[in-house]
Amino acid sequence: MVAIEVPEVNYTEYSNRQLVAIPLAVLVLALAIIGGWFLVTGAPANLGLEFTGGVELRIADDGGDVEQQIETAFDRQPDSVRSIPADDVYVVTFRAADEDPEGLANDLSTQAEEAGLSTNAIDQVSPSFASDTARTAIIGVALAFLGMSVLVFAMFRTFVPSLAVVASAFSDLVVPIAVMNLLGIQMTLGTIAALLMIIGYSVDSDILLNNSVLRRTGEFYESVNRAMRTGVTMTLTSMAAMIVMAIVAALFGVDLLRNIGIILSVGLCADLMNTYLLNVSLLRWYKFEGVKR
Amino acid sequence: MLEPIKNNWRILLLVVVVLGATVALFAPQFGPQTAPGENVSEAQQGVTNLQYGLDLAGGTRVRAPLIGYTATEVDFGGDQPDEVARAVAAELENASARDIGAVPEENAVEVTNPTVTESEFRAAMDASGYAYEDIRSGVTQETRDIAQEVITSKINEAGLSGGSVQQVQSLTGEYFILVEVPGEGREDVIELLEERGTVQIDIAYATENGTAIQEEVLIQDDFEDIGTAAQADRGTGAYVPVTVRNTAPEGEQSPAHSFQQAVADRRFASAYNSNQDQCRYANGSLSGERNPCLLLTVDGEVVNSFGMDAELADSMASGGWATDGGFRLTTSEFSEAEQISINLRAGALPAELDISGQGTSRSISATQGENYKTYSLVTGILAVFAVAGMVFLRYREPAVALPMIVTALAEVYALLGIAALLSYPLELAVIAGFIAVVGTGVDDLVIIADEVMSEGEVNSRKVFNSRFRRAFWVIGAAAATTIIAMSPLMVLSLGDLSGFAIFTILGVLIGVLITRPAYGDILRRLLTIR
Sequential DSSP letters for B238-259: EEEEEEE----STTS--HHHHH
Q: Do B387 and A139 touch (CB under 8 A)?
A: no
Give the closest of B171, B387, B500 to A237, CB-based.
Answer: B387
> What's the CA angle centered on B112, arms B148 and B59, to 5 degrees?
35
The rounded distance, in Å, linking the Cα atoms of A229 and B447 is: 10
- Compare CB distances from B383 to A144, A211, A245 and report the shortest one's residue: A245
| Of A59-73, A168-182, B158-172, B177-191, highest mean pLDDT | A168-182
Question: By the CB < 8 Å criterion, does A18 face chain B?
Answer: no
Residues 6 or more apart in contact with residue A21 via CB below 8 angstroms: none
pLDDT value of position B37: 45
Helices and strands in chain B: count of H runs, count of E runs: 18, 18
Please judge whether A87 and B371 are an interchain contact, meaning their C-beta atoms are less than 8 angstroms apart.
yes
Exposed/middle/buried for residue B80 (C-beta within 10 Å: 0-12, 13-18, 19+): exposed
**Is there a contact between B478 and A226 if contact means CB atoms under 8 Å apart?**
no
Phi, psi (5° rounding) for residue A185?
A: -80, 135
CB nearest A237 (choices: B171, B443, B500): B443
B432 has a chain A CB within 8 A of its CB: yes
Q: Which residue of B has its CA nearest to A144?
A: B485
pTM of the model: 0.72
B357 to A126: CB separation less than 8 angstroms, yes or no = yes
State the pLDDT at residue B342: 67
Domain B2-56+365-528: which CATH class? mainly alpha
Look at residues B430, B71, B385 and name the one whose alpha carbon lies nearest to residue A243: B385
Q: Which residue of chain B is at minimal alpha-carbon distance from A129?
A: B358
Which residue in the set B428, B443, B483 is minimally distant from A254, CB to CB?
Answer: B428
| Cross-chain Cβ contact A189/B497 below 8 Å | yes
d(CA B530, CA B527): 7
Spell out the residues 6+ positions from residue B166 whose beta carbon is closer than 8 angstroms to its own.
B148, B177, B178
pLDDT at residue number A255: 80
- End-to-end Cα separation, chain A, in angstroms: 50
Three-state secondary structure readout of B341-389: HHHHHCCCCCCCECCCCCCEEEEECHHHHHHHHHHHHHHHHHHHHHHHH
- Please report the residues numbered 152 through 181 in chain B whose beta carbons come closer than 8 angstroms to any beta carbon of chain A: 170-172, 174
Please give the CATH number for the structural domain made up of A11-47+129-290: 1.20.1640.10
Which among B193, B190, B179 has a CA at the least distance from the CA of B54? B179
Give residue B35's pLDDT: 47
pLDDT at A87 over 80: no
Rounded to the nearest angstrom, the minimum Cα separation between B188 and chain A is 12
Q: Exposure pattern of B305-330 as b/e (b: 16+ CB <10 Å)?
A: bbbbbbebbbbbbeeebbeebebbbb
Q: Which of A36-45, A64-73, A108-117, B163-172 has the highest mean pLDDT?
A: A36-45
A187-225 pLDDT per residue, tens: 888 888 888 888 888 888 888 898 888 877 778 888 888
Q: Which three-class secondary structure state does DSSP give residue A218?
A: coil
Closest partner residue to B443 (CB to CB) among A196, A216, A238 is A238
Residues 456-485 of B with CB under 8 A from A: 470, 473-474, 477-478, 480-485
A154 contacts chain B (CB < 8 A): no
CA B108 and chain centroid, separation: 24
Q: Return the half-sphere exposure (C-beta side, CA atoms, 13 A cut-off) of residue B467.
A: 22
Please answer yes or no on whether A257 and B394 come within 8 Å at the CB atom. Answer: no
Q: State whether A121 and B474 contact (CB < 8 Å).
A: no
Which of A89, A126, A223 has the highest number of chain B CBs within 10 A, making it the mutation to test binding with B? Answer: A126
Q: Does A24 reach chain B within 8 Å, measured CB to CB?
A: no
- Residues of B within 8 A of A217 (CB-CB) are none
B494 vs A124: CB contact, 8 Å cut-off?
A: no
Based on C-alpha coordinates, what's the Rg of chain A? Answer: 23
Asked if residues B194 and B186 have their Cβ atoms less than 8 Å apart, the reply is no
A263 touches chain B (CB under 8 A): no
- Asked if residue B177 lies in contact with residue B64, where contact means CB atoms within 8 angstroms, the answer is yes
Q: Rounded to an integer, what is the distance from CA B101 to the centroid of its chain?
A: 23
Burial tier of B79 (Cβ tally within 10 Å: 0-12, 13-18, 19+) = middle
User: In CATH, what number does B199-345 get?
Assistant: 3.30.1360
A4 contacts B494? CB cut-off 8 A? no
- Partner-chain contact A124 B361, CB within 8 Å: yes
Residue A30 has pLDDT above 90, yes or no: yes
> So where are chain B's domains?
2-56+365-528, 59-195+349-361, 199-345
Which DSSP category does A44 fall into? Answer: S
**DSSP conformation class of B426:** B
Alpha carbons B15 and B116: distance in angstroms, whole number: 63
Which residue ranges of chain B lie beneath pLDDT 50? 35-39, 530
Give the CA distances from residue B493 to residues B138, B318, B426, B501, in Å, rounded to whole numbers and listed in that order. Answer: 18, 58, 18, 12
Contact A109, A119 (CB under 8 A): yes
Mean pLDDT, chain A, integer: 82
- Section A41-46 average pLDDT: 83
ipTM of the complex: 0.82
In sequence order, what E strands does B183-245 have? 199-207, 210-219, 223-226, 230-231, 238-244
Query: Would you place residue A97 in the very low, low, confident or very high pLDDT band (cuts 50, 70, 90)?
Result: low
User: With an 8 Å Cβ cutoff, is A230 touching chain B?
Assistant: yes
Pairing outcome for strands B230-231 and B210-219: unpaired
| A234 interfacial to chain B (CB closer than 8 Å) | yes
Indicate the length of chain B as a whole number: 530
pLDDT at B201: 86
Cβ pair B485:A226 closer than 8 A: no
Q: Do domains B2-56+365-528 and B199-345 have the same CATH topology?
A: no
Percent share of chain A, pLDDT over 70: 91
Does A21 contact chain B (CB < 8 Å)?
no
Q: Å from B365 to nearest chain A CA? A: 5
Chain A: nearest CA to B98, how far in angstroms?
26
Taking domain A54-125, whether its CATH number is 3.40.50 is answered by: no
Please list every residue in chain B whose beta carbon sits closer than 8 Å to the beta carbon of residue A102.
356-357
Picking from A153, A176, A155, the residue whose alpha carbon sits closest to that of residue A163 is A153
pLDDT at A28 over 90: yes
Boundaries of every domain in chain A: 11-47+129-290, 54-125
The HSE-up count of residue B457 (CA atoms within 13 Å, CB side) is 5
Searching chain B, which residue's CA lies closest to the CA of residue A134? B494
> Which chain B residue is nearest to residue A148, measuring alpha carbons?
B481
| A120:B364 CB<8 A | yes
CA neighbor of B363 nearest in space, from A137, A74, A59, A63 = A59
Rounded Cα–Cα distance for residues A119 and A121 (Å): 6
pLDDT of residue B346: 58
Query: Phi/psi at A47 (nearest 5 deg)?
Result: -80, 135
